[in-house]
């Protein structure tokens, strides 16, 4: 994952140590010839297997077998099972998200946040998303490279939606203009993530509402 991207970054920046030998250690495979069929099969298999028996028991060999694919085809395009799962998870998100514009803006910040936050709670509690997202979260805690990819491609785009919605509220005079939207957002997302990850207490709509209420009380203009 990092390997692929770093190499790409370097290559596209024209950074090569040897005149015509940017293939020296390991040439990048030719993306134009890549089999889309295999790619989909691999991502699907990774999601299925993670759901069936968990990330710990997920193996590259099992993915290859389930996808009807040679192991090398996985190693050629991904650096680790975590990277496969990340791509699979993103693909999963894209299916669902189709044309999602951003957070709703009805003019009522509290209502809009609760709408979104309840949806997030439902997603985290749904079996379809639970296993892969837990896997990616856990791996991210312990694997900085994967974490960077995960936050960059999945998490931050989501968080920026909150930032935008809160800024809009500030401009509309519904929130204290001195409050830092980033911190406000983390006060909403952090507690939900905490309950979900460490299972301290059940993650419910009521809890989500309470969190939003408390935070909004903190950033309401006085």
Of the candidates 74, 65, 90, 4, which has an alpha carbon nearest to the alpha carbon of residue 35?
Answer: 74
Angle between helices 181-198 and 109-125 (to 10 degrees): 30
- Contact positions vs DNA (CB under 7 A): 27, 29-30, 32-35, 37-39, 41, 57, 59-62, 64, 67-73, 75-77, 80-81
Q: How far is CA 133 from CA 68, 95, 98, 196, 203, in A?
A: 25, 16, 19, 11, 15
Q: Decide: is 177 part of the binding site for a copy of itself (CB under 8 A).
A: no
Measured from the CB of residue 152, what is the shortest distance to DNA in angstroms? 22
**Is 46 in contact with 82 (CB distance < 8 Å)?**
no
Decide whether 105 or 207 has the Cβ nearer to a copy of itself: 207
**Residue 212 binding: pick among DNA, a copy of itself, none (C-beta 5-8 Å cut-off by kind):** none
**Residue 38 binding: pick among DNA, a copy of itself, none (C-beta 5-8 Å cut-off by kind):** DNA
**Residue 161 binding: pick among a copy of itself, DNA, none (C-beta 5-8 Å cut-off by kind):** none
Q: Decide: is 6 part of the binding site for a copy of itself (CB under 8 A).
A: no
Q: How far is CA 70 from CA 29, 36, 77, 171, 187, in A?
A: 15, 14, 12, 55, 45
**Is 120 in contact with 113 (CB distance < 8 Å)?**
no
Give the footprint of a copy of itself on this chain (CB under 8 A): 54-56, 134-135, 137-144, 147-148, 150-151, 155-156, 159, 179-180, 182-184, 186-187, 189-195, 197-201, 207, 210-211, 214-219
């Amino acid at each position: 994952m990092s390997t692929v991207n770093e190499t790409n970054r370097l290559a596209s920046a024209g950074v090569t140590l040897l005149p015509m030998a940017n293939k020296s250690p390991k040439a990048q495979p030719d993306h134009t010839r890549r089999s889309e069929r295999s790619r989909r099969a691999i991502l699907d298999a990774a999601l299925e297997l993670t759901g069936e028996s968990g990330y710990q028991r997920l193996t590259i060999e099992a993915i290859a077998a389930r996808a009807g694919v040679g192991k090398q085809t996985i190693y050629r395009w991904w650096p680790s099972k975590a990277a496969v799962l990340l791509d699979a998870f993103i693909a999963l998100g894209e299916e669902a998200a189709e044309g999602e514009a951003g957070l709703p803006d009805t003019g009522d910040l509290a209502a809009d946040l609760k709408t979104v936050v309840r949806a997030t709670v439902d997603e985290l509690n749904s079996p379809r998303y639970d296993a892969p997202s837990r896997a990616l979260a856990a791996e991210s805690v312990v694997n900085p490279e994967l974490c960077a990819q995960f936050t960059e491609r999945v998490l931050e785009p989501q968080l920026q939606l909150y930032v935008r919605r809160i800024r809009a509220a500030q401009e509309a005079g519904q929130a204290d203009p001195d409050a830092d939207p980033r911190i406000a957002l983390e006060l909403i997302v952090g507690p939900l993530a905490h309950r979900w990850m460490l299972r301290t207490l059940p993650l419910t709509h009521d809890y989500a509402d309470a969190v939003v209420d408390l935070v909004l009380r903190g950033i309401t203009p006085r």
